[in-house]
Amino acid sequence: MQNLLEKHWHHLPQEEVLDLLDTDLDKGLDRLEVEDRQQNFGPNALTRRKGQGPLLRFLLQFNQALVYILLVAVIIKLFLGAWVDAGVIFGVVLLNSIIGFVQEGKALGALEALSRALTTETTVLRAGEKQRIDAKELVPGDVVLLASGDKVPADLRLLQSRSLQIDESALTGESLPVEKRSGVLGHDTTLADRANMAYSSTLVTYGTGVGVITDTGDNTEIGRISELIASAEVLATPLTRKIARFSHLLLYAILGLATMTFLVGLWHGDSWINLFMAAVALSVAMIPEGLPAVLTITLAIGVARMAKRNAIIRRLPAVETLGSTTVICSDKTGTLTRNEMTVQLMWAGGENFAVSGIGYAPEGEVQQDGKTVDSYKNIALAELLRAGLLCNDSVLKQDEEGWKIEGDPTEGALLVTARKAGLDDKLAQASYPRLDAIPFESQHQYMATLHGGDSPVVYLKGSVESLRARCDAILDADGENKPLDSNVVHAQVAVMASQGQRVLAFARLAVPPESTAIDHDDVAQGLIFLGLQGMIDPPREEAIQAVRACQAAGIRVKMITGDHAITAAAIAGEIGLDDTLAAGEIPLVLSGRELEAMSDAELIQAATGTAVFARVTPEQKLRLVEALQAHGEVAAMTGDGVNDAPALRRADIGIAMGITGTEVSKEAADMVLTDDNFATIEAAVEEGRGVFDNLIKFLTWILPTNAGQGLVIIAAVMASQPLPVLPVQALWINMTTAVLLGLALAFEPREPGIMRRPPRTPDAAILSGELIFRIILVGLLLLAGAFGLFEWALYQGASEAEARTIAVNVFAVGQSFYLLNCRSLRFSMFRLGLFSNPWVWGGIAAMTVAQLLFTYVPLMNRLFHSAPIGLMDWAHILAVGLVIYLVIGAEKTLRQRRETGSSGI
């Protein structure tokens, strides 16, 4: 039977389905056959795939070039006998590895969440008897009975249904429960349109049904999604890619310079031992030991800031990735929209009406031409609203979390609209008590309710085609019956549908007072048409603003949904997703069926040039993300359903919804929005850009220290002079400046206009040519200051210890002044505000104390080979620092004037 698993079950007649699965609709499978199939197919559960073991995953955290550099530094420090320094650096490496290991382990929990999703009980027919069993025991061919509230236990071909509706939003993205029916469908019917199939882990919201299991476990649609998650490659983030590239370049540069220094020294005739020590000093001096720690801390600070703005980060580099995002692929239902059906348009008595307010809160009013309408003055409108209120099985409730609907979202929208118009549901139900009802059935396409009271009446709601055929007249605004013009009705339906509205028709039938029951024959003809109500799942107001803000920041937003094309286009037009169109214009939509027919090259072009994709399958969502990445985009993917998980995992950053999101989507994502608000993404992008700015500021600040120390050592070897900075002194400079000074940049506030800048080019180097020039310039200034004052001190008769103390203090003071320049890469600190980041001044004060201890405390003199220096030496050192500040300030001003043509600051 294994070859049956690839059958197109929706396309086969009922008899052939039962014959292929060798089962009986009235009896189901017998016990022996069940046991045999359980042996063949295994349990109805997702297979847990063997991945990398914990030890291997932990060791792989060390497989990074920057970590190699630090491990080399540890070995060098051990060689030098600097046990404490070696322990500190190795501790930083170990901590980073533990953090990465833990975060990766959480991400891999997505598969376990999918497995848990299949744990449920179900009613099955076996050997002619109904049984309640664990869903894991089901096999293909089992006959399953579905009822409202059940979770579908496996993939089923429906054989019988009565008013069956299933919520498939987590699987397909469809915002409304889908009406199900038995019958044969076309071979090429897409997943979301297969009305005769029920899929594992979806939820029955209404009615009953009977189906035969076609697929279990890994072979179900949710099982295929599990395969996609497992096979989806997790990309390195832009930050980790750039840091890796930078680390490799730095590693090669350090090794190259150390080798060159060694060879030049040999050519000068220096001793092997002295040259080896010089090469070690050069390597230690040029390794930025504080970089990983400050990188981690800066990202952690970004995480804390984002948490305050309702965004929870699950992987640290995701903070920066948001800042470099060029395109956001968003699901529609519950992300860009409220996931609350809302009536917006009505037509009654030949007149059009609009309804204000969105969501389930009964706040709003019925309007005509912008003015509030008294619904009681228009009899047709009043009857239309009453029909929606009474021909209804749902309940509108309010709790501490707000207004909610118990029942069908469509019926909930009708209740809310009646409340907005001033109808009291309790009073209406008391005046028109329900006596009988005909539930909605897909083959009849309507629901009818019989109400007693002073004027017994039957109210109907359903599809326009179904009700129009039963009506002879239409009610006008004065309550008179007029001939029904079908063309006029269809014209109104077309107008509503073109705006993405789901249109329901309403009718009534007066009945004798003695009536206590109704059936389909009673409402087959002679009805009075009352009007139309059009509804839609409206966009979030804050999402509209957030999309505009993203577009202003150069970030394109695309909608990728499983919903219908017309609905998706209407929402996209209202939000303004396609910024090449005028406000309210409907954008082009590509359907999943069109995407399926495209080659990879065509898909890449379509993915970049189209803003809306509808009726998209999980595989196609994943393929769209891959196409955007192939075009060089940094793609973020938002979503809340099981169907979003593979694309969330594959995207550069996956963003899940915290309230409505499934556990599968949350665990596959890099970031979770605690308020399910698309607008939070804008805040997260802003924080991400700020974090990356601060990281670049830190790199621009710290590298001149390493470059300057390296140049000083190279210059000394070239000139056959004593080393101005010893290895242990280089360690002191690197560790103290990074922690006391550089860390202050992690707390730097975001600069003004950060969301008016375009995204960074994904393949751009981590440092621009401008910043590299600035790093070299500062490095040369530190070289001139440190080597010059070192040689001057020796010329004046100072000891080597005193001269080296002066050189070390040049680096500390020079970096303190340069720190003020690096608070902004474009503006002066006066533009930002002198005290807008008090951590900078605290760091400078701490560095000052540390250098005074380094210079004057005897214990420090013995440990670091330093010596006390005089007041005039400090004056020279401060002069070097001031020169660095003024030169870089002038360079920034000149560059800004050249770029803007204005005076700049």
Given a cut of 80, is residue 648 above it in pLDDT? yes
pLDDT beyond 90 at 116: no
Which range (109-113, 331-335, 357-361) has the least confidence?
A: 109-113
Euclidean distance between CA atoms 28 and 188, whole angstroms: 29
Confidence tier at 280 by pLDDT (50, 70, 90): low
Cα 758 from Cα 637, distance rounded (Å): 19
**Contacts with 339 (C-beta within 8 Å, 6 or more apart), sequence order:** 175, 333, 537, 660
Amino acid in the structure at residue 38: Q
Q: Report pLDDT for 905.
A: 33
User: Using 50, 70 and 90 to split pLDDT, how confident is the model at 110?
Assistant: very low
Q: Which residues pair with 447 in a beta bridge?
A: 461
148 pLDDT tier (thresholds 50, 70, 90): confident
Mean pLDDT in residue range 529-552 = 91
Q: Is the pLDDT of residue 904 over 50?
A: no
Residue 482 has pLDDT above 60, yes or no: yes
pLDDT at 99: 59
What pLDDT score was predicted for residue 5?
47
The catalytic position among 193, 331, 644, 652 is: 331
Taking Cα atoms as reference points, which of 189, 190, 193 lies closest to residue 181? 193
Phi-psi region of 741 (alpha: psi -120 to 50; beta: other; left: phi over 0): alpha
In angstroms and rounded to an integer, the radius of gyration of the C-alpha atoms of the chain is 35
Secondary structure of residue 484 in the 3-state scheme: coil
Closest by CA position to 802, among listed 791, 811, 813: 791
> What confidence score (pLDDT) does residue 67 get?
67
Assigned token pair, 411: 């019926």
Average pLDDT over residues 175-193: 84
Mean pLDDT of 502-507: 95
Give how far Cα 82 sits from Cα of 326, 470, 548, 727, Å.
46, 93, 55, 10
Give the alpha-carbon dihedral of 252, 257, 258, 259, to 10 degrees. 90
Res 715 pLDDT > 50: yes
User: Which pLDDT band holds residue 448 (cuts at 50, 70, 90)?
Assistant: very high
**Core vs surface per residue 531-555: b (16+ CB within 10 A) or e:** bbbbbbbbbbeebbebbebbeebeb
Q: Is 176's pLDDT higher than 80?
A: no
Count of helix runs (H) and strand runs (E) in the chain = 32, 28
Q: 159-163, 219-223, 271-275, 599-603: which range is least confident on average? A: 271-275
**554: left (phi > 0), else alpha (psi -120 to 50), else beta?**
left
Q: What is the pLDDT, as a whole number, of residue 88? A: 58
| Angle in degrees, 0-180, between the axes of helices 291-308 and 65-80, rounded to the nearest 10 | 130
Report whether 394 contacts 412 (CB < 8 A): yes
* Residue 63 pLDDT > 80: no
Q: 450 or 188: which carries more pLDDT confidence?
A: 450
Q: What is the pLDDT of residue 490?
A: 93
Please state the rounded mean pLDDT for residues 793-802: 92
pLDDT tens figures, 425-438: 889 999 999 999 99
Q: Which residue has the higher pLDDT, 822 or 77?
A: 822
Share of the chain above pLDDT 90, in %: 37
Give the β-pairing of 143-147 and 121-126. antiparallel
Dump pLDDT digits (tens) for 840-878.
999 999 999 999 999 999 998 987 889 999 999 999 999
Q: Angle at Cα 228 formed by Cα 225 and Cα 233, nearest 5°?
A: 150
Q: How far is CA 352 from CA 347, 374, 531, in A?
A: 5, 14, 10
Q: What is the mean pLDDT of residues 17-43?
A: 91
Q: Please state, for a pLDDT cut of 70, what percent of the chain lies above it.
A: 86
> Would strands 671-673 and 653-657 be described as parallel, antiparallel, or unpaired?
parallel
In which region does residue 687 sit, left (phi positive, over 0), alpha (psi from -120 to 50) or beta (all else)?
alpha
Report the candidate in 62, 69, 670 with the shortest Cα–Cα distance to residue 317. Answer: 670
Q: What is the pLDDT of residue 607?
A: 92
Write down the pLDDT at residue 178: 86
Active site residue 331: yes
**pLDDT for the residue numbered 290:** 66
**Residue 727 above 80 pLDDT?**
no
Which has the minimum average pLDDT: 133-147, 281-295, 732-746?
A: 281-295
pLDDT of residue 477: 93
Question: How confident is the prediction for the chain on average, in pLDDT?
Answer: 84
Q: In this predicted structure, what is the pLDDT of residue 111?
A: 36
Q: What is the pTM of this model?
A: 0.66
What is the pLDDT confidence band of residue 535, given thresholds at 50, 70 and 90? very high
Q: Is residue 758's pLDDT more than 50?
A: yes
Read off the pLDDT of each residue in 10-27 and give the average, rounded to a whole number: 90
Q: What is the pLDDT of residues 354-407, one digit of tens each?
A: 999 988 999 999 999 889 998 888 999 999 999 999 999 888 988 887 898 888
Q: How do residues 42-59 score in pLDDT, each as one tens digit? A: 898 877 656 567 788 788
